[in-house]
Amino acid sequence: MKNTKIIIFAAVLALGGGIFARGYFAPVALANPIPLAEFTMPDVFGKPHNIKEWESKIRIINFWATWCPPCLKEIPMFKTLQQQFTNNGLQFIGVAVDDQASVKEYMAKTDINYPILIGDLAGIALSQQLGNTAGVVPYTLIVNQQGQVIYQHNGEISREQIIEIITPLLN
C-alpha cells in the first residue's frame, strides 16, 4: 500500500512537472512584436559585427554552444535553410555562448555558411535580455525585416517550425 502511494505521488509530481515544463519551454509567437536590441559581438577571428549589418533581412538568431548536443544537431538544418533562402532575404546568425577557442576548433571541423559571433558570458546575458528567461541553449529568435522579434523558441527548433514562421515574410 505504501509503495502504491509513493508511485501515485511520483506520477502526479511528474505530470505536474511536465505540464509546467511544456508551458515554460513552449515556443512563443509574439502577438506584439518587440524591437530587437542592438548589439555588437566579435566573430571567431575577433572582428566585431553589429546586428544592424543584416538589417532589412529576416534574421534567425540562434544562441548555441559547442558542448550542447541539440545545438549541434540544428546546425546542418540551419546551413541547408541558409543556402535555400539566401536569395529571399533570410540570414541565420549564430551567437555562441562559448569561448572563442572552442568555437574556432568546432568551426575548423564544420563548414558553416552563416556568421558565428562569440558571445561567451555576454551572449548568455543577451539571450536573457532577449527573452530567454529559462537560460537554455539552444535558444532561437526570428526577427522580421523591420527589426522586430516575432518568435522565440527555447530548445531545439524544427525545420517545419522555421518554415511556418518565415514563409509569410519571404520576398
Q: Which tens digit of pLDDT belongs to each residue from 155-170?
A: 999 999 999 999 999 9
**Residue 19 is assigned to a structural domain of this protein:** no
**Stretch 127-132: mean pLDDT:** 96
Contact between 58 and 86 under an 8 Å Cβ cutoff? The reply is no
Q: Which range of residues forms the domain containing residue 144?
A: 27-169
Determine the 3-state secondary structure of 92 from DSSP.
Answer: strand
Domain count for the chain: 1
**Residue 4 is assigned to a structural domain of this protein:** no
**Residue 2 is assigned to a structural domain of this protein:** no
Contact between 42 and 116 under an 8 Å Cβ cutoff? The reply is no
**Residue 146 is assigned to a structural domain of this protein:** yes
**Residue 111 is assigned to a structural domain of this protein:** yes
> Which of 39, 154, 51, 45 lies closest to 100, judged by CA?
45
**Residue 14 is assigned to a structural domain of this protein:** no
Say what angle helices 69-85 and 159-166 make with each other, to 10 degrees: 40
> Which of 139, 148, 142, 141 lies closest to 34, judged by CA?
148
Does 85 score more than 90 pLDDT?
A: yes
The number of residues making up the chain comes to: 171
Question: What counts of helices (H) and strands (E) characterise the chain?
Answer: 5, 8
Domain with 155 in it: what CATH number? 3.40.30.10
Q: Residue 50 and residue 74: Cα distance in Å, rounded?
A: 24
User: Worst-scoring range by mean pLDDT, 5-9, 36-40, 64-68?
Assistant: 5-9
How high is the pLDDT of residue 22? 39
Give residue 32's pLDDT band: very low, low, confident or very high (50, 70, 90): confident
**Residue 94 is assigned to a structural domain of this protein:** yes
**Residue 21 is assigned to a structural domain of this protein:** no
Contact between 104 and 44 under an 8 Å Cβ cutoff? The reply is yes
Does 135 score more than 80 pLDDT?
A: yes
